[in-house]
Amino acid sequence: MKMIEAPERIESPPEVAPRNAVLRYRVRRISYKIFVYLLLLGLCSLILLPVAWMLTAALKPDLEPVFTPTPEWFPTKFWHWENFRRVLTESMPFLRYMINTMIIVVGNILGVLLSCSLVGFAFARLRFRGSKVLFYILIVTMLIPWQALMVPQFLFFVKLGWYGTYLPLIVPSFGGTAFFIFLIRQYMRTIPKDLDDAARVDGLNTWQIFWRIILPLSTPVLTVCAVFTFLASWNNLLGPLIYLDSDEKFTVAIGLANLVTRADTPWNLTMAANLVTILPTVIVYFFVQKKLIGGIASVGLKG
């Protein structure tokens, strides 16, 4: 993704300008830069200070008040790292919640990558009757929020006997997700068609073209889809809330929500649990953020 921006705002100073004009120009330029940096630093501290407060609170011992008249933004004198161990295994089962959530996440990533790459390939590179109509249907399903259908879907899965299992949270992803199919299709369309023709001359069939040529070339978009799927299913509250009924099966989102909704959880442990559950998403985010932002940018919105 090439970076294009508004050109620098100030035109270059006239060659024979009087000394103080040049000076004025420089002062204006520097003060503009200082203003921008101050603004950015201010905005970043609005993001980071609450997170720092959360860490401070999480490291406090049980009897120390979490709320202080002047908010304490950075780890102060308390460093009770064992609070994290307590929420993971001892006082709260967040390690189990994380493993449970991971099962759903892995299932969803497998489902999305498998089905969406197959379907995206067909839409991007194969000719078949009804392709236009089916593509319109795909776009329409992208616009309908799944929440609109959650009641009949719930009843359907209950009738199948899947209530209380992870199946309703995993199996639908094997039917493809419209948004990811769309992303993959857009990406695969940019791969030169000559590759397919050359491969056909070499005697490869459609499956081999998909598996050996197009799929390996599509890893950037597949990575984006996998990361989005990870974030969406790790963070999902409504789905697990509807389908899971026992504490052994709960996910991190339900576990966290329960800390607040069922009251009297000490705040230091609540914040420790919160940090523990956001850590995996933050780590993944730092590793792939360039690709993620580029991924959204490359697809464009006019397509």
- Beta carbon nearer to other proteins, 22 or 238: 238
- Beta carbon nearer to other proteins, 80 or 141: 141
Query: Alpha carbon 120 to chain centroid distance?
Result: 21
- Tell me the window of 12-20, 87-95, 116-124, 216-224 that interacts with other proteins (CB under 8 A): 116-124
Which 57-76 residues touch other proteins, going by CB under 8 A? 57, 66-67, 69-71
To other proteins, the closest distance from the beta carbon of 23 in angstroms equals: 21
- How many CB atoms lie under 10 A from the CB of residue 28? 12
Alpha helical stretches, state H, 59-126: 82-85, 94-125
Residue 22 near other proteins by CB under 8 A: no
- The first and second tokens of residue 286, run together, are 């730092």
Which positions from 128 to 157 touch other proteins by CB under 8 A, shown as an x/- string?
Answer: xx-x--x--xx--x-xxx-xxxxxxxxxx-
To other proteins, the closest distance from the beta carbon of 92 in angstroms equals: 13
First to last CA, the chain: 17
Which 201-220 residues touch other proteins, going by CB under 8 A? 205-207, 210
Q: Give the number of residues in contact with other proteins, rule: CB under 8 A.
A: 105
Residue 261 near other proteins by CB under 8 A: yes
- Beta carbon nearer to other proteins, 103 or 288: 288
- How many CB atoms lie under 10 A from the CB of residue 138? 18
Residues 6+ apart with CB under 8 A from 122: 128
Place of tokens 């503009």: 32
- Beta carbon nearer to other proteins, 18 or 42: 42
**Cα separation, 169 vs 143, whole angstroms:** 20
Backbone angles phi, psi at 204, to 5 degrees: -80, 140
Residue 34 near other proteins by CB under 8 A: no
**Cα separation, 96 vs 122, whole angstroms:** 39
- Tell me the window of 21-29, 81-89, 120-128, 216-224 that interacts with other proteins (CB under 8 A): 120-128
Residue 250 near other proteins by CB under 8 A: no
Work out which of 3, 16, 63, 133 binds other proteins, going by CB under 8 A.
Answer: 3
Q: Are 274 and 97 in contact (CB under 8 A)?
A: no
To other proteins, the closest distance from the beta carbon of 182 in angstroms equals: 11
- Tell me the window of 19-27, 82-90, 127-135, 213-221 that interacts with other proteins (CB under 8 A): 127-135
Burial of 257 (0-12, 13-18, 19+ CB in 10 A): middle
Work out which of 16, 63, 201, 263 binds other proteins, going by CB under 8 A.
Answer: 263
Q: Are 180 and 229 in contact (CB under 8 A)?
A: yes
